[in-house]
Structure 1
Amino acid sequence: MDTASDQELAIALARMSRNLLSQDTVQNTLNSIVEHAVDLVDGCEHAGILLLHNRRQVETAAATSELVRRSDTLQGELCEGPCFDAADNGVQVYRIADMTGSVQRWAQYAPYARDLGIASMMGLLLYTDEEEYGALDLYSSRPEAFGEHSELVGWVVASHAAVAFSSARMDAQLQTAITTRQRIGEALGIVMERYRIDEEQAFQVLKRSSQHRNIKLRDIADHVTSTGEIPGAR
């Protein structure tokens, strides 16, 4: 690449990073990641994010086309494929130059991929969690579509995406925690006023209702604040 192309790519990646961090929901962040991947990685025609739960259950968190969803479903059913393995094994990058030829590593998946029109693809690790893994999937209908430069840019995109995804999830979790705390506080106030008891006693009332009915405390609180009734209370 020449200097001008390097500068253009650097500017595009910087804009992508800012755009990802500006998204207001986790899903919007994921959707933006796959759109940027198609725009920035040479040869990429389709992109998606595959999440692997408990090392078995596949979820398509974002996709630019139905082809991506069908590929993810196949990889989940067969428990193999570049993106499945990138997520499952924690490998940074899998790159298949030509899916139209003999592919030994994914012998079951490859024929189905060819039927979908997939000729080359990459799976790039996004993150690993205790019970969840994520990979960025890139697809092309052309053999040899992804070279070393595509792999490098894909890895950089995935690295930025991993940071943005983590930040979005943390923000969402924090917001959920704040909202839950507020709803529980409202529910405590209702119980305290109704039964003329203090905050600790009111909390025990909600806690017992949660345990006896096997319902999360925040759901008990939501029920109390929306109906004024405590499940199971006499």
Structure 2
Amino acid sequence: MTQSIETVRVHRQAHAFAELAMQLHDSTTTTETADAVVRFAIPAVACDHAGIALQDADGVITIGTVSSDVARELYALQIGHGDGPMIAAMQHGVVLHIPNSAAETRWPAWSRAAVAAGVGSVVHLALQAGNSTLGALSLSKQAYDGFSADDLAIAHVLARHAAIAVATAQRREVMTTKVDARKLVGQAMGILMERHDLDADRAFAVLRRYAEEYDLKLQQVAEQVVAGRRFTRPKPSAPTDLHAAG
């Protein structure tokens, strides 16, 4: 009977993770991906609070998504102080399990806040893809010693799924941004070509010259052309707006 119950439990977990994988595949943004992981984590690990913090290429940490105000407040505290178990998990690329928040001495400010919020135990798992740490998945329970060995095993698997999904979503967003930027530059070139009888090479050269002259990105210059805006900081040697660039 025990084996039969265990088999059923394993099958249910496998089915649940399969459904999660499909949700993550269908997610189009990093926010949607983080939301799906956090929603899944609450029942999967029977935790009271969950969240995902994200870290960009410059090491700036932001709150991705949270399941509660408690999770948000504990994230905000650590980001504000630049220290805490979530940040340590990211910095070292590890899983950091704190079974008793009241007994934690490494981060006293966080410990006091966690106890005051009714958080007894926490696990923070770095989200790693290749050599990059993309963020952390944080799960907490009101009970002290609340995470069983099975809970931690599920959390590990969930963190691996989350890391891959977040990396995929971020790559997709970068590609979308690049495509949008190319479209915008193309529109700006078309405007210059039509209004000033320029060929494509000359129109692009005008955009690039203004980008260099005003220390702007090509996309920013294109936005000004499409919107019909003038530069507010013209130099004596340059025309005062792009529409006089012919």
TM-score (norm. length: structure 2): 0.85
Partner of 2:62: 59
CA contact (8 A) 1:90 1:125 kept: yes
Matches within 5 A, 1:216-231: 216-227=217-228, 231=231
- Indicate the larger mover: 61-70 or 74-83: 74-83
CA contact (8 A) 1:38 1:45 kept: yes
Partner of 1:26: 30
CA contact (8 A) 2:28 2:172 kept: no
Task: Give the superposition deviation at 1:187.
Answer: 1.0
Matches of 2:199 and 2:139, distance apart in 1:
57
Task: Give the superposition deviation at 1:39.
Answer: 2.0
Check 1:179–1:134 CA distance in 2 against 1; reply closer, same or farther (3 A cut): same
1:5 equivalent to 2:9? Answer yes
Task: Give the superposition deviation at 1:153.
Answer: 0.4
Task: Give the superposition deviation at 1:33.
Answer: 1.3
CA contact (8 A) 1:206 1:230 kept: no
Check 1:69–1:116 CA distance in 2 against 1; reply closer, same or farther (3 A cut): same
Partner of 2:85: 82
Partner of 1:37: 41
Partner of 2:237: none
Q: Secondary structure at the match of 1:49?
A: strand
CA contact (8 A) 1:86 1:135 kept: yes
Task: Give the superposition deviation at 1:132.
Answer: 6.3
Give the root-mean-square deviation of aligned CA atoms: 2.1
Task: Give the superposition deviation at 1:49.
Answer: 0.8
TM-score (norm. length: structure 1): 0.89
Alignment counterpart, residue 96 of structure 2, candidates 91, 94, 97: 94
Matches of 1:83 and 1:37, distance apart in 2:
17
Partner of 2:166: 165
Larger gyration radius, structure 1 or structure 2: 2
Task: Give the superposition deviation at 1:130.
Answer: 8.3
Q: Secondary structure at the match of 2:20?
A: helix
Matches of 1:127 and 1:226, distance apart in 2:
40
Q: Secondary structure at the match of 2:64?
A: strand
Matches of 2:97 and 2:55, distance apart in 1:
19
Aligned residues: 229
Matches of 1:177 and 1:74, distance apart in 2:
34
Task: Give the superposition deviation at 1:197.
Answer: 2.0
Partner of 1:49: 52
Check 1:161–1:131 CA distance in 2 against 1; reply closer, same or farther (3 A cut): closer
Task: Give the superposition deviation at 1:193.
Answer: 2.0
Task: Give the superposition deviation at 1:201.
Answer: 1.4
Check 1:37–1:135 CA distance in 2 against 1; reply closer, same or farther (3 A cut): same
Report the identity percentage: 28
Partner of 1:149: 150
Check 1:129–1:183 CA distance in 2 against 1; reply closer, same or farther (3 A cut): farther
Task: Give the superposition deviation at 1:129.
Answer: 8.5
Q: Secondary structure at the match of 1:61?
A: strand
Matches within 5 A, 1:203-214: 203-214=204-215
Structure 2: runs of 5+ lacking an equivalent: 232-240
Task: Give the superposition deviation at 1:135.
Answer: 0.3
CA contact (8 A) 1:58 1:73 kept: no
Check 1:65–1:89 CA distance in 2 against 1; reply closer, same or farther (3 A cut): same
Matches of 2:130 and 2:206, distance apart in 1:
35
Task: Give the superposition deviation at 1:105.
Answer: 2.6
Partner of 1:183: 184
